[in-house]
């Protein structure tokens, strides 16, 4: 066996590189599973379109961050290898092959199945060649009234160099012939489509032979682009889009004011010099394609030629614009625990016993209500909360503002480095400071990713009154929108020992001092990794001693090599291990003599599987933890995370059944992973088909 250090040098990896899978290729494999939802004829048609758009959105971020990082390594002549032994250049070559094939499949699906299917249902996207006279006149009027006034054509000549294009913006490359007003022969021009313009435009119903008729902005501009170049002949008009490196670079050793530093870096995300991908329409001439590649310093490996709109993400709005419930997933109403319904005071409900919420099947409203009541409750003394992703329009943040205005002691730990949410978080931090809240930004170098809310309240007691901590801990973000789309657990408790642990974490985040030993909570970067390893090794020791041993874990990603090696060791010892990993898994299951006892599956369906649940047999005690952290190096060593145990027996049984066993029984949306990293759908050969998400909707309905 070779002995190699992980990237951070924390835990030596004791197995050869061939026993690990590539992270980037794992991300693409996950997106293939999402694409399969768009391919599935059993999925409602507008939902198929939505899944197709999700793949494009995921690929955008993949290129902006993961591919951009690999290209930087190549640029710096890095000799480091990925855990599976690939060089950065080797990884890029594999990514290029897989990503090109996937994008080709996307557009084939769009053009051959989804758009024709929508047209058959009365939702048509009208091509330029199919416009009748009335449609043409309406679109022409729309162009002159709404589009042309905001366009700025830029002819390319020595005094007009190639413009700096906004990241992922829609642009058009124009080939021209003739002379302009100054007698210049300019052969090329660029037209940028401002983001204020809609990418799909609905025509009046009376002009269409269907209920909903749309045209693409690209079609409108293509048809009338000659109006921007009076007297010249337009030889070609080609839509294109560039993707830039969007990772923020912050020199943590030089930072004096984190917020000001990030505010200064954010504009560079949109105009970074490092372009990583060029997308062009398949009608683009070879000469213009070569010209664009040269302008951005790219090769054919970074060129993606597409048969349709270069930005499918903008089609995400179509399900909102089209009122066709028959083409969407059936609506459902989120349930509410009976203990919350019994009393108008959420504090009384929590005081009566711990409350578990399973989102989105159960409402996020009790979490909102907890903070809302605390903001106006005269007994509330203090509120402390972490904010990672909460959105630009958050009722939770409004409650925090109201609490501070009402004289409560409000402390908010805002993570300014939450990727693509930096601007929203800076905005909330500014508003909170204005009303007197204490705003801190955690610890430089460690993202605050844990989800914690603590309310200190003066309750009636005997004798006199007593200060009690009411705590919310979750696996997901404080975002009511994603709480309707992501599967997550919330725990509401006033357990004193849990409250003490949470208070200690807040003290670390806002003040100074050494980390203290917690009674229940495992915390990264201090104890989480070591405790997870210890729990895995305890199961291995039990199996070697001939005792029952079992591990079940559900998470988004599994990449950390120390954990993978411990799981391999546990499998060799005889521990039966089930891993439910939605996204990337670097562990190879089912290898004889190494991982025979390990099964890996991924669930991809209507909701994004997001909760992290960890089960250990623990000699029959059944240790169950929920966490904000995946089994990734960054979560263990570069983030502030929490894993918290479920102490109540009834709630523990719920977590095991709802968060693990129902997913292990799924044979409709489950994908089983093989030793080579491939996935095949798990389907019921005999018996009843079972879908975890549908069963949970039925189980937890009001």
- Residues with a catalytic annotation lie at 449
DSSP strand pairing (576-581 vs 550-555)? parallel
Alpha-carbon distance of 20 to 569, in angstroms, equals: 14
Separation CA 239–CA 218 (nearest Å): 7
226 and 234 Cβ atoms separated by less than 8 Å:
yes
Cβ atoms of residues 23 and 82 within 8 Å: yes
Written as one string, the DSSP assignment of 551-571 is EEEEES-B--HHHHHHHHHHH
Is 141 in a helix, a strand, or coil?
Answer: helix
Give the pairing type, strands 188-192 and 153-155: antiparallel
Query: CA-CA distance, 51 to 110, in Å (whole number)?
Result: 11
> What dihedral angle (degrees, nearest 10) is formed by the CA atoms of 114, 120, 124, 128?
90
Q: State how far the Cα of 371 lies from the Cα of 471, in Å rounded to an integer.
A: 11
CA 310 to chain centre: 21
- Any bridge partners for residue 51, and if so which? none
**Three-state helix/strand/coil letters over 488-546:** EEEEEECCHHHHHHHHHHHHHHHCCCCCCCCCCCEEECCCHHHHHHHHHHHHHHHHHCC
Q: Is 75 exposed, middle or buried (0-12, 13-18, 19+ CB in 10 A)?
A: exposed
Helix pair 395-405, 365-376: axis angle to 10 deg: 10
Residue with tokens 């190699």: 4
- Torsion sign, CA atoms 33, 555, 669, 686: positive
Burial (CB count <10 Å: 0-12, 13-18, 19+), residue 500: middle
Q: Please give the DSSP secondary-structure letter assigned to residue 177.
A: E
């Amino acid at each position: 066996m070779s002995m190699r250090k992980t990237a951070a040098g924390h835990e030596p990896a004791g197995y050869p590189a061939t026993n690990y899978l590539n992270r980037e290729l794992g991300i693409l494999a996950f997106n293939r599973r999402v694409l399969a939802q768009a391919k599935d004829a059993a999925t409602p048609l507008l939902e198929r379109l939505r899944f197709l758009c999700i793949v494009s959105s995921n690929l955008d971020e993949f290129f902006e961050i993961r591919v951009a990082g690999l290209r930087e390594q190549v640029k710096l002549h890095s000799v480091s290898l990925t855990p599976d032994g690939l060089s950065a250049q080797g990884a890029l070559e594999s990514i290029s092959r897989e990503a090109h094939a996937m994008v080709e499949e996307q557009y084939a699906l769009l053009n051959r199945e989804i758009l024709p299917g929508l047209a058959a249902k009365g939702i048509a996207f009208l091509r330029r060649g199919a416009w009748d006279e009335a449609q043409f006149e309406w679109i022409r009027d729309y162009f002159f009234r709404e589009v042309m006034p905001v366009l700025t054509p830029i002819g390319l000549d020595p005094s007009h160099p190639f413009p700096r294009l906004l990241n992922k913006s829609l642009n058009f490359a124009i080939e021209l012939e003739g002379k302009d007003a100054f007698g210049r022969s300019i052969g090329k021009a660029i037209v940028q489509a401002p983001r204020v313009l809609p990418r799909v435009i609905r025509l009046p119903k009376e002009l269409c032979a269907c209920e909903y008729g749309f045209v693409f902005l690209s079609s409108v501009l293509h048809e009338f682009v000659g109006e921007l170049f009076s007297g010249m002949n337009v030889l070609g008009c080609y839509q294109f889009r560039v993707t830039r490196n969007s990772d923020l670079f912050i020199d943590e050793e030089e930072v004096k004011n984190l917020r000001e530093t990030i505010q200064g870096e954010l504009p560079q995300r949109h105009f970074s010099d490092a372009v990583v991908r060029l997308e062009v329409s398949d009608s683009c001439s070879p000469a213009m394609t070569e010209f664009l590649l040269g302008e951005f310093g790219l090769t054919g490996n970074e060129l993606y030629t597409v048969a349709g709109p270069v930005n499918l993400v903008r089609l995400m709005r179509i399900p909102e614009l089209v009122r066709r419930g028959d083409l969407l997933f059936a609506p459902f109403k989120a349930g509410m625990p009976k203990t919350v319904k019994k009393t108008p005071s959420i504090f009384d409900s929590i005081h009566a016993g711990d409350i578990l919420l399973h989102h989105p099947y159960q409402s996020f409203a009790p979490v909102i209500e907890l903070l809302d009541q605390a903001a106006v409750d005269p007994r509330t003394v203090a509120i402390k909360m972490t904010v990672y992703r909460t959105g630009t329009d958050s009722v939770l943040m409004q409650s925090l503002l109201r609490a501070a205005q009402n004289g409560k002691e409000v402390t908010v730990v805002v993570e300014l480095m939450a990727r693509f949410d930096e601007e929203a978080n800076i905005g909330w931090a500014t508003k909170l400071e204005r009303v007197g809240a204490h705003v801190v930004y955690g610890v430089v170098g460690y993202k605050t990713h844990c989800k914690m809310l603590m309310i200190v309240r003066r309750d009636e007691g005997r004798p006199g009154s007593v200060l009690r901590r009411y705590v919310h801990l979750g696996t997901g973000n404080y975002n009511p929108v994603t709480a309707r789309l992501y599967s997550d657990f919330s725990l509401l408790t006033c357990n004193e020992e849990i409250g003490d642990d949470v208070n200690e974490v807040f003290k670390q985040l806002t003040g100074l001092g050494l980390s203290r030993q917690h009674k229940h909570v495992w915390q990264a970067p201090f104890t989480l990794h070591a405790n997870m390893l210890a729990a895995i090794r305890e199961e291995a020791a039990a199996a070697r001693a001939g005792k029952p041993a079992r591990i079940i874990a559900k998470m988004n990603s599994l990449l950390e090599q120390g954990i993978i090696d411990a799981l391999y060791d546990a499998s060799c010892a005889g521990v039966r291990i089930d891993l439910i990993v939605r996204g990337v898994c670097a562990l190879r299951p089912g290898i004889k003599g190494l991982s025979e006892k390990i099964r890996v599956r991924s669930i991809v369906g209507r909701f994004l599987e997001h909760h992290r649940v960890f089960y250990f047999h623990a000699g029959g005690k059944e240790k169950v933890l929920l966490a904000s952290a995946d089994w990734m190096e960054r979560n263990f060593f570069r983030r502030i995370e929490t894993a918290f145990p479920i102490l109540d027996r009834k709630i523990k049984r719920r977590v095991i059944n709802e968060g693990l066993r129902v997913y292990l029984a799924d044979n409709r949306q489950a994908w089983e992973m093989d030793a080579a990293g491939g996935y095949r759908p798990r389907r019921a050969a005999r018996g009843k088909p079972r879908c975890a998400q549908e069963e949970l909707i039925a189980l937890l309905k009001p």
